[in-house]
Structures are given as C-alpha cells and as structure tokens.
Structure 1
C-alpha cells in the first residue's frame, strides 16, 4: 500500500475528498498512490497542509520507506547467498537461510522471498539425497569402474551454485520473481 494512501485513509479521506480538499486533480492523487510516488513542489505543500504536517515530515516518511525497501532487498540477497554455506556445512543450504529468514521475516516481502528460497533448497536437498542413494546401484550397470556418487554430488553442487548466482543476479536487478515453485514446505 502506498504511503499517500495510508496517510489519506488514516485521515479519513477518500481519493475524491482529498482531491477536493487539496485542490489537486483526482488523477494526481491516483497517480501518487498507484506509483507510490513522492509529491514534489506545490503538491507536497498542499498535501502536507491537508494532512496537518510539515512538508519535511512528509518527505522524511518517504525517505524512511525507501530505506526500509532497501533493507528488505539486502535481507533477501543475504538469505540467497547464505545458501552457499552448503559447500562447507551439510544441509547448510537450508539451515543458515532458515536462521536468517526467521530473524528478518517481519516484512511480508522478506517472508515470502525467504520462503521461496528455502523451499527450493529443501526440494534440491531431497532430490540430491535420492540421487545419492540410487546412484551406486545405477552406476554399477552403466559405469562399471567409476564412482558415480562423486559425479552426482559434483554436478548437483554445480547446478545449485549456478542457481544461487542466477538468483543473485536477478535480485541485484530488482527482479524478485525468482524460485516461485508451487510445492511449499514452509
């Protein structure tokens, strides 16, 4: 929900009433709310008067929202990169992200993205465990003198590293539509 909409609803105004009281067009109010856009100049002054606050106070609220969103994005990136702990800790790809997610999930956004990352890692670990269990039996028939377990393990680790890096690149570009798998464990 946009900041202007929150303040407007807290003040008890509809969009139409706010437009009428402020002298701004209804379209301006709708645009500010839909794009969560910070008002500037005359619009900032008029809205501040209607809401009974100083223009600097309204600007400060927008600044705090921007800082909060940046903090959320950083938390999500950290959860994603913590998956790499599986390289040194068995099931670290679940344990460390889970700890970070629990610590930072007060935000709905961080909660949802953390769940996506952890759910993917649970599925990855389950599939890898199954593959490691069956690979010695299959390996005997296909590759008689080769230890297939190490090949499976190496390939799975490589795939997971690629997925983590790809996700990190998307998150860096503020593309949060990642690892959206319908199967959920948490």
Structure 2
C-alpha cells in the first residue's frame, strides 16, 4: 500500500500524491505559491492540487502572453491606452459573431464579457492583482473579462487564498514536522472510525 503523505498545499493527508519536482516548483513559483523546502526531504502535493496548479499555470501563462502581445500597441507618444478593438481589427484575427460580445482583456477572445473592474470590486481585494501582479489591467481602457476567464480567475484566487491560509496555520506551530505528523494521525483516526462504521452496517 502506498504510504500516507501530507500535501504541502492543502495540507490534507493522501495516498495519491506526487513529489514536487523542478517543473512543479517552477509552476508553484509562477503561481506565487511559496513552499518552505528542506534539502533532506522530498515534499509532495496531492493529485487534486497537482491538477489545479497545472490548470492555473496554463491560464496565467496565456494571460501574461496576451499582456506581452499588447505591449507594442501602446501609443507611447500620446500616452493613450491600448485600444483592444482596434488592435484586433488591425491584426485581421477578429471575428464578430454577436454585436453584444466584447474582447476579453485576459485571453483576447471575443465573447460574452463582464466588466473586469466590477468583478474585482466584488471581492475584498483586487483578485487580478493578487493572482497576477505582473499584469496591469489598466493597460487598456474599460477592460472586460469573458465568462470562461472569469470562472478560472475566481477559482485560482480561491485556491491561492485557501493554500496561503493553510500555510499560515501550519507555520504558527513551532514544529512544522510535528504539525504534519498530527495531520497524518488525524487521518488515521478518521479512517479507523469510518471502518468501524462500515462494520456496524454489515
């Protein structure tokens, strides 16, 4: 049976995990999810968190690529923001399927969109800046976000927040290893209780 390990992101005990390798570290750093590494131990993340960081890293990479793509279109001589509509029209890649659609500031696709600034105001903080401080949404006037990017951005923000809270809770303990051991013990106790419940039902 696979050994039981504690995920370094969600801090849940699991037998389905993967060791944090260089590729994983690169993605975690890119997503601003810092982990205190030890030279003497291989840290792991559960499969669920591993899938999440792959999804969010791909999403953030697309957003930053879009941001870099817009840079040459800045009208530096006039100090004006990028006109995304004009940029897409000049590139010849824009296809208007619905007059109510707008161009998403994050992925540059034309789709049903909402106001990105209003989305940020619905939270206690600017979630775009929290997740992607490298990206300046005010690069363009009246930035919009498509529903697909909105869903992924919110999920990324909630995932990041949850991980950071878990890390802070763990760091409050003087002995981090002891804290992780407690997590494993709690998992074993819970498993034993579930086994007993199943036996009673037989």
Higher strand share: 2
Higher helix share: 1
Q: Same fold (TM over 0.5)?
A: no
Which structure has the larger Rg?
A: 1
**Larger RCO (CA within 8 A; separation ≥ 6):** 2
Q: TM-score, normalised by structure 1?
A: 0.28
Q: TM-score, normalised by structure 2?
A: 0.26
